[in-house]
Amino acid sequence: MKKALLAATVVASALTATLIVAPAANAGDRSAVPFTEATVTAGADGSFALTWKAPGSKRVEIRANGKVVAKGGAQGRAVVTGLPAADRQWFDFTPQHGQGLRLADRLIKLDGTTNFRDAGGYRTTTGQWVRMGEVYRSDALARLTPNDLAKLRRLHVRTVFDLRMEDERSKDADKVPAGAGYVVADVFAGSGSFQTMPRTPDEAVKAMVDAERAMVSGTGGKKAYAQVFEGIERDRARSVLFHCTAGKDRTGWAGATLLTALGVPRATVEADYLASNDYRRAANDAILSHLPAQQAAVYKPLLDVRPEYLNAGYDEVEATYGSFDRYLKDGLGIDARELKQLKKDLLVG
């Protein structure tokens, strides 16, 4: 199974990324940020599709590089072309009244990764938004090119948390941008997870569900995710990056935990988690296409992310701690003061 997970990082793909956002809150919600939806989607041709909903705003203006590139009413869509190449193209969504948003496409296009993306850009149940450009999530960094590393340095990646096991780290050692700190946060340390290869698709699904539960209640998982949260909360000059091999399971739970702690709705958290299937589709399809049908059927659940995997993590939280807040406090050591500071740092509105 470990070979399957490691192999999943070999094939790179160029995907068109979409910024997934939280659904609109209740109509009566009055937030400092009037946007209930806002998306930036990068096209393969260099264009950007922008959409927004800002109920009650008669006018919305969007700027890129200091220039107005789109405008409209409370709800709109625009396609922007002709912008100069940039590491990330940012758009400032400015409503007639209230606080605006600074958004970019979620995917960070690198030659050596397929699933490197921003953890922010989502709306919470209180109408606030998770800042972008602060926390990133990714698959393995072993194949980063010099250009990739220079790009991450320009994106101010300061701390890298490696969630992988020792043999993964030894075989494919991380490359990190100059000046960035590197922290081992082995989620499965001492857990015994992934020691044998499943023989059937059902066994593969069970292995993934059991692994998700171990991320929550296992000693290694609690320690590793506590390290990640502490690093995010402590480093006010972030950006912080956490990753595993495929950027979908251990990284997926880290992302889900962070977004849930910040108040992002469960449906949005799940959509972000499942997005790895889209970002990794070409890589996963290439792996499966080279396997005999029976073996591919066993491997596919290992390469997928599925709602039942994520739900197993939340179920383990409920069974072990009783609530998500207790998981944060008792499992990860995040008290009310630290959570309040984290929200202050990472939320807009």
In DSSP terms, which residues pair with 40 in a beta bridge? 50
> Quick one: 300 exposed, middle or buried, by C-beta within 10 A (0-12, 13-18, 19+)?
middle
Is residue 147 a contact partner of residue 52, using CB atoms and an 8 Å limit? no
Collect all residues with Cβ–Cβ distance below 8 Å to 299 and sequence separation of at least 6: 4, 204, 287, 288, 291
Residue among 141, 313, 135 at smallest CA distance from 221: 313
Give the Cα separation of 155 and 238 in Å (integer).
10
Residue among 110, 97, 200 at smallest CA distance from 147: 110
- Secondary element (H or E) of residue 288: helix 281-289
Strand locations in 43-155, DSSP E? 48-53, 60-64, 67-72, 75-80, 90-95, 101-104, 117-118, 129-130, 135-138
Torsion of CA 138, 139, 145, 148, to 10 degrees: -10
Q: What is the DSSP letter of 131?
A: P
Residue in the structure block whose two tokens are 């977004």: 259
Residue in the structure block whose two tokens are 């066993």: 298
The answer to whether 244 is a known catalytic residue is yes
Catalytic residue among 142, 241, 244, 264: 244
Q: Which residues belong to the active site?
A: 244
